[in-house]
């Protein structure tokens, strides 16, 4: 017994001097981030990329656990969880306009001519800054980045050859005032309904089509029922990663840089990949006997005029609306 006690004493002394026993590694801090899109779509890709970069930048101090496909509830639910600090982060789009009306301008109709134009405005540009003015204080959320989910295009049962083909066309629209108003100004009979109900409504003849980014058209196989895809690009869907403001504010300055850089790199990846995603989606549509057409100038001009009418909604609710519109126009 005395010999055992002596050996244990020597072992403790050696460990104390640091010759043998390695220090116990600290457990990584888990960051939970929720989103609505399934795996493989740009929003979820962005969340995973953010996690990869944050873990690398922090040398393993932080690990990100992604909850896609509305696992933690619908958008309003996981946004509320993020605001309260139940989870640290989330990904969403203009749903945040309920907290700060200017956020709806991320998806202003016919505001952006291309991904390059939008990126100049959103990727640290003045337009992005103007939209976010006052948002953190109102929401207890901080917008970490902005990235595209794709331009919305029409998918219909019959081809849209001219503006006249829009008149009275029954198209599904999200139940959002901006989208409903835009459809009306285009001459479309907008039918507000959840995206999950679109297939059934098409089968029953309740609607003639709808509008979505190409990636969504492919993932939901809309081309099987509505093979006519018209590349109007009338609204660019933009989502962002958001972080609880209280959590972010308490981070040391060097760790804030990790989070900022991880968010920047995640968005950068999606911006670079988006055009490739669109091209691949077009190939899938054409390979499955879908048709893709580009509207003529008269059609495009009609869409622009309709969009400008919807901008009045922003003028009623967003004090710096015109400054936001002007900042985007200056970057064309």
Domains of the chain: 27-329 (3.40.190.170)
- Decide: helix, strand or coil at residue 149: strand
The alpha helices in 60-161, defined as continuous H runs, are 75-84, 115-122, 126-132, 135-139
Give pTM, 2 decimals: 0.89
Helix, strand, coil % over all residues of the chain, rounded to 5: 55, 20, 30
Q: How many CA atoms lie within 13 A of 86 on its CB side?
A: 11
Q: Please, what's the largest Cα pairwise distance for the chain?
A: 100
Q: CA–CA separation, 34 vs 90, rounded Å? A: 5
pLDDT in tens, the chain (332 residues): 444 444 444 444 444 444 444 344 579 999 999 999 989 889 999 999 999 999 999 999 999 999 999 999 999 999 999 999 999 999 999 999 999 999 999 999 999 999 999 999 998 789 999 999 999 999 999 999 999 999 999 999 999 999 999 999 999 998 888 999 999 999 999 999 988 899 999 999 999 999 999 999 998 899 999 999 999 999 999 999 999 999 999 999 999 999 999 999 999 999 999 999 999 999 999 999 999 999 999 999 999 999 999 999 999 999 999 999 999 999 98
At 194 the pLDDT is 87
Do 136 and 254 form a contact (C-beta atoms < 8 A)? no
At 304 the pLDDT is 97
Do 55 and 62 form a contact (C-beta atoms < 8 A)? yes
Do 274 and 77 form a contact (C-beta atoms < 8 A)? no
């Amino acid at each position: 017994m005395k010999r055992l006690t002596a050996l244990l004493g020597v072992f403790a002394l050696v460990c104390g001097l640091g010759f043998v026993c390695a220090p116990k590694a600290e457990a990584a801090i888990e960051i939970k981030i929720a989103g609505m899109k399934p795996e493989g779509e740009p929003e979820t890709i962005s969340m995973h990329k953010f996690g990869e970069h944050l873990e690398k930048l922090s040398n393993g101090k932080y690990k990100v656990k992604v909850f896609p496909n509305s696992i933690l509830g619908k958008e309003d639910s996981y946004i509320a969880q993020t605001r309260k600090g139940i989870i640290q982060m989330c990904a969403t789009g203009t749903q945040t306009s309920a907290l700060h009306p200017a956020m709806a301008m991320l998806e202003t109709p016919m505001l952006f001519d291309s991904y390059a134009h939008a990126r100049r405005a959103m990727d640290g540009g003045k337009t992005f800054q103007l939209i976010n003015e006052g948002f953190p204080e109102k929401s207890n959320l901080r917008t970490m980045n902005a990235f595209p989910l794709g331009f919305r295009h029409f998918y219909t049962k019959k081809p849209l050859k001219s503006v006249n083909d829009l008149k009275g066309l029954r198209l599904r629209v999200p139940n959002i005032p901006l989208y409903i108003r835009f459809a009306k100004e285009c001459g479309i009979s907008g039918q507000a309904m959840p995206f999950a109900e679109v297939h059934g409504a098409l089968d029953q003849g309740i609607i003639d089509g709808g509008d979505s980014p190409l990636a969504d058209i492919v993932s939901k196989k809309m081309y099987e029922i509505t093979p006519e895809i018209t590349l109007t690009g009338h609204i660019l869907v933009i989502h962002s990663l958001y972080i609880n403001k209280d959590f972010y504010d308490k981070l040391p300055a060097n760790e804030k840089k990790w989070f900022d850089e991880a968010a920047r790199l995640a968005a950068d990846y999606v911006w670079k990949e988006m055009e490739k995603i669109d091209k691949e989606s077009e190939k899938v549509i054409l390979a499955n006997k879908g048709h893709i057409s580009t509207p003529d100038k008269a059609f495009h001009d009609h869409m622009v005029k309709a969009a400008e009418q919807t901008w009045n909604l922003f003028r009623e609710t967003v004090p710096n609306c015109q400054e936001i519109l002007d900042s985007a126009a200056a970057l064309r």
